[in-house]
């Protein structure tokens, strides 16, 4: 289980300009839909954008606070 | 040894034009995302293979390192890694999947 603020904190550590929205898919706050808008994605293909998010959330994923993620990664002008 | 797993993965990736490494098998998927990925490809009607790595932790770990992608399922099309439906869905929306599969299957 992870709160939106804690998750957002992890994302902001590596993408300070990120706007993060979190949707709890199953009510247990560990199967989450996470949308990140940041210009860190500029010039990156989808795979690399998602890798950036996975790297930012590496700790809560490894310790099990996050079980499953559905990701959306857009730049500011794409959002 | 580690590389014999890598060799095994290379063989599997080359043997199947659409390959899903996931949790469970084709007849008994054990994870919603693995099932979702199978349903994604069912729409196109091309054959695909599902390899369960929940029962093969060493292969799962090697795959994670090879692809720099921490989660399952992991999809390979024509030997190239494409992540999962988070990547495939936007590609499908842009009509990029159909030509990719046509090229892979040569028809």
pLDDT of B1 reads 54
Considering chain B, what is the average pLDDT of its residues? 95
Q: What is the pTM of this model?
A: 0.92
* Subunit contact B87:A50, Cβ cutoff 8 A: yes
Q: Across the interface, which of A51, A68, A70 has its CB nearest the CB of B69?
A: A51
CA-closest candidate to residue B55, choices B24, B12, B10, B31: B24
User: Could you tell me where the beta strands, DSSP code E, fall in A1-79?
Assistant: 19-24, 31-37, 68-74
Residue in B94, B89, B42, B87 with CA at minimum distance from that of residue B67: B87
CB-CB contact of B71 with A54 (8 Å): yes
The ipTM is: 0.87
Chain B CB contacts of A51 below 8 Å = 68-69
B70, A68: Cβ pair inside 8 Å?
A: no
Q: What is the pLDDT of residues A22-77, one digit of tens each?
A: 999 889 988 899 999 999 999 999 999 999 999 999 999 999 999 889 999 999 99
Q: What are phi and psi of A47, to 5 degrees?
A: -60, -45
């Amino acid at each position: 289980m992870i709160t939106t603020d804690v998750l957002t904190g992890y994302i902001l550590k590596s993408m300070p300009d990120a706007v993060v929205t979190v949707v709890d898919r199953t009510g247990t706050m560990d199967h989450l839909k996470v949308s990140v808008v940041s210009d860190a994605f500029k010039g990156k293909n989808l795979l690399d954008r998602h890798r950036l998010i996975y790297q930012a959330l590496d700790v809560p994923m490894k310790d099990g606070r996050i079980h499953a993620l559905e990701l959306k990664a857009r730049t500011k002008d794409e959002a | 040894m580690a590389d014999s797993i890598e060799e095994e993965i290379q063989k599997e990736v080359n043997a199947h034009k659409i390959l899903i490494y996931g949790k469970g098998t084709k007849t008994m998927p054990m994870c919603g995302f693995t099932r979702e990925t199978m349903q994604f490809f069912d729409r196109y009607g091309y054959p695909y293979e599902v390899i369960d790595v929940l029962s093969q932790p060493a292969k799962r770990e090697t795959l994670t390192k090879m692809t720099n992608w921490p989660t399952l399922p992991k999809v390979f099309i024509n030997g190239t890694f494409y992540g999962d439906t988070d990547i495939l869905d936007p590609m499908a929306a842009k009509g990029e999947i159909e030509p990719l599969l046509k090229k892979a299957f040569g028809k």
